[in-house]
Structure 1
């Protein structure tokens, strides 16, 4: 019997799109980075974007302890039977260290996007039928219905682009047992104008996606907050930025709100589609978490 995800992911992890093994010329570096992040004490690596078990496998092979999860695997691009088979193969090779993070993605990226909640329920039904264990899957849950689904049909929730207030509401709805592991963007910059400029550049894509903007509106923000790259109030609510003390305090807000684990996403000026491997920043971040 493997330990549950809540016990194995630890308090902090790294969220990054750049950890995908898509470019063979970078495979050696990525394996080295994965081992380095494990040595730094992070408990999990979250593969940003539409990742899969195939992306997770090399990172697991390069490490011995750290959990690797998809954040997220789109239900529109991966058949449930194939997902269950891939999960089984990877879990057999690395017991308890792979987490299947699932989500409905966005209409902008999935031509077949229809009735996302119903489609997710059907996907989970098919995973159950194929034998993929519910306690090794997680859902990217933003709204109340999907949070309920994460409680009832998965090991918990891995929401992206949420506030500490959303984290508190998610914890209340999930109850104590499920894992709650929100993503949090971090800008290692203490000058307010520069920090917010970097944050806005990165946030621009997400402010075109209704799943995120609707969630902001549900959680007390206004259309004015979403305009012109996002208000200072919005930026400050979804980013940790400032000096080390300020950044640690923002991360602690999410823990105090009920997060079991925080997936930390370094934002350094690279675009969401072509992110860097900010090894120095990951090391600096690890030092302020101890």
Structure 2
């Protein structure tokens, strides 16, 4: 699988009308990005089904789930979906799996008391299910949403690597040390093409608002030196600058390179918009960033 160095993560891929998502994916491929990530969150469509939609609408673009929630389907269903997409689209699908967050999981009627144990048991059940399913010629990589050391260790020992989110390059360096060589490390990086500091941080804080309610992210950032003062009142300037790369295209390319230098194999950038996630605005930013990120544009697709 060739995913290059830079891909795209955007929540509207799994929320937009299918035809809009298809056109956006085609544009991402045309611009030369190496991957497109489909999330599973509040209000999103089923990620494995949406991955199939995007894979069918593109020619070469790898698609990953970032992430498929283990509480949303049993291990046999997850493995069967992984096999189906690997078989239909060889070397183009990555299965990202995660335990999500306590408030979101309990709302589905599940017990979030031991997420690490739940993930370990789930992976073992997937492996058992694999014995009953056809074996694709090129199995899809299985990576885990991971932040803290124990989940990163599980990503190393029972998966093909980790997909990290809401993290700076300092975390990428720590994650690589735990994963060691030979395991995928794919961080997400929020970006906004906005040179004005006040405006950029305003957009960053709108993005931070949801995540500041989720303890998993805050606890991880505390290990990197951020404090409760950084999380108060919508987030400090330091927090905004830590999580969101802003400025001109050169500044954003520098942050992406920092992740790569820290040990990332691939960085999935998430373009932010002023009011709310906006796919057309994201594609405009992705167009402006493609050259500075060193991407090779491909022909043959009609963009959004």
Q: Tell me the TM-score normalized by structure 2.
A: 0.88
Distance in 2 between residues matched to 1:279 and 1:52, nearest whole Å: 21
Question: How many residues in Structure 1 have an aligned counterpart in Structure 2?
Answer: 279
Distance in 2 between residues matched to 1:220 and 1:279, nearest whole Å: 34
Q: 1:102 offset after TM fit, Å?
A: 0.6
Cα-Cα RMSD? 1.6
Matched with 2:293 is 289
What is the DSSP-based 3-state SS (H/G/I as helix, E as strand, rest coil) of the residue aligned with 2:265? coil
Matched with 2:57 is 62
Matches within 5 A, 1:120-269: 120-131=119-130, 136-269=141-274
1:166-213 deviations in whole A, cap 9, x for unaligned? 000001111121111100000110000000010001111100100001
Q: Which runs of 5+ in 2 are unaligned?
A: 295-304
Q: Is the CA contact (8 Å cut-off) linking 1:17 and 1:275 kept in structure 2? A: no
Matched with 2:279 is 276
Q: Which runs of 5+ in 1 are unaligned?
A: none
Q: Is the CA contact (8 Å cut-off) linking 1:135 and 1:155 kept in structure 2? A: no
Q: 1:64 offset after TM fit, Å?
A: 1.6
Greater than 4 Å deviation, 4+ residue runs? 132-135
What is the DSSP-based 3-state SS (H/G/I as helix, E as strand, rest coil) of the residue aligned with 2:60? coil
Matched with 1:38 is 29
Distance in 2 between residues matched to 1:117 and 1:106, nearest whole Å: 12
Q: 1:286 offset after TM fit, Å?
A: 1.2
Cα distance change, pair 70–270 in 1 and its aligned pair in 2 (3 A):
farther
1:107-157 deviations in whole A, cap 9, x for unaligned? 111111221010010110111111189861111110000000111111111
Distance in 2 between residues matched to 1:78 and 1:284, nearest whole Å: 38
Q: Is the CA contact (8 Å cut-off) linking 2:83 and 2:140 kept in structure 1? A: no
Distance in 2 between residues matched to 1:89 and 1:135, nearest whole Å: 10
Distance in 2 between residues matched to 1:9 and 1:155, nearest whole Å: 15
Q: Is the CA contact (8 Å cut-off) linking 2:212 and 2:231 kept in structure 1? A: yes
Cα distance change, pair 127–202 in 1 and its aligned pair in 2 (3 A):
same
Matched with 1:87 is 82
Q: Is the CA contact (8 Å cut-off) linking 1:202 and 1:269 kept in structure 2? A: no
What is the DSSP-based 3-state SS (H/G/I as helix, E as strand, rest coil) of the residue aligned with 1:196? helix
